[in-house]
Amino acid sequence: MSLPTAYLAPVSWYKALAALPAAAIEQHEHYVKQTPRNRARILMPTGVQDLIVPVEAAPHHTPIRDIRISEHDHWRHHHWSALRTAYGKSPFFEYYADDFAPFYERRYDFLLDFNLRLHETVCQLIDLDVPLTLTVAYDAAAFTDFRDLPVDTTPYYQVFAERLGFSPDLSIIDLICNLGPESILYLNAPKTL
């Protein structure tokens, strides 16, 4: 099975990955705008907000592996500030902040590389050990798009849930900052649809 790359992928992506013996990241698909490939959804005090990694303009049908990150508008600083605002009062942000901060200090040229390094860090933090490779060619039959992933609506603790209600399928960073080491238990639990 192959999954699309994602910027701090949604919980549904990690839930699907946790159920597999092995998986591949699709690096040959064409870049698709306005998807989790370069967009993470987090819960701010005012509600759900998208963090978007800006990418350089590329010709139509450019493979995801060739998409370059733009340094437009100091996005790394804005994303890190938003993450601190969203999760600074969560139970585990302080514990994991030093693991995530370098991603907002260092420049990455390619979106795929940035996403893969973040994914490796996430897997280490939550003890998710599913062998992951990159595809060697596009295979539509093996590809699972985000739209095909079932969303688990089983609530877990979220800092602003008392005021805003539970928000399902946010970025994995939401789960990590709120559940910490128990994140893997949530990912491995049966889905509630």
Q: What is the pLDDT of residue 73?
A: 86
Give the pLDDT confidence of 2-57 residue by residue, as tens digits: 999 999 999 999 999 999 999 999 999 999 889 999 999 999 999 999 999 999 99
Nearest residue to 178 (alpha-carbon basis) of 157, 163, 162: 157
Q: What is the pLDDT of residue 118?
A: 98
Evaluate whether residue 193 is within a structural domain.
no
Instruction: Give the number of domains in the chain.
Output: 1
Signed CA dihedral, 125, 131, 136, 142: sign only:
negative
Is a pLDDT exceeding 60 seen at residue 193?
no
Mean pLDDT of 72-78: 93
What is the share, in percent, of the chain residues with pLDDT greater than 70?
98
Give the pLDDT confidence of 123-145 residue by residue, as tens digits: 999 999 999 999 999 888 888 88
Question: How far, CA to CA in Å, does 67 sit from each of 27, 111, 127, 144, 193?
Answer: 10, 6, 29, 20, 34
Average pLDDT over the chain, rounded to an integer: 94
Is a pLDDT exceeding 80 seen at residue 152?
yes
Strands 23-26 and 132-134: parallel
Evaluate whether residue 8 is within a structural domain.
yes
Evaluate whether residue 26 is within a structural domain.
yes
Evaluate whether residue 97 is within a structural domain.
yes
Evaluate whether residue 60 is within a structural domain.
yes
SS3 50: strand
Angle subtended at Cα 153 by Cα 39 and Cα 189, rounded to the nearest 5 degrees = 100
Evaluate whether residue 49 is within a structural domain.
yes
Q: Containing domain of residue 46, as a range? A: 2-188
Evaluate whether residue 70 is within a structural domain.
yes
Q: Residue 121: is it exposed, middle or buried by C-beta count within 10 angstroms (0-12/13-18/19+)?
A: middle
pLDDT band at 191 (very low <50, low <70, confident <90, very high): low
Give the pLDDT confidence of 166-181 residue by residue, as tens digits: 999 999 999 999 999 9
Evaluate whether residue 27 is within a structural domain.
yes
Q: What is the pLDDT of residue 177?
A: 98
From CA 63, how far away is CA 45, in angstroms rounded? 36
SS3 158: coil
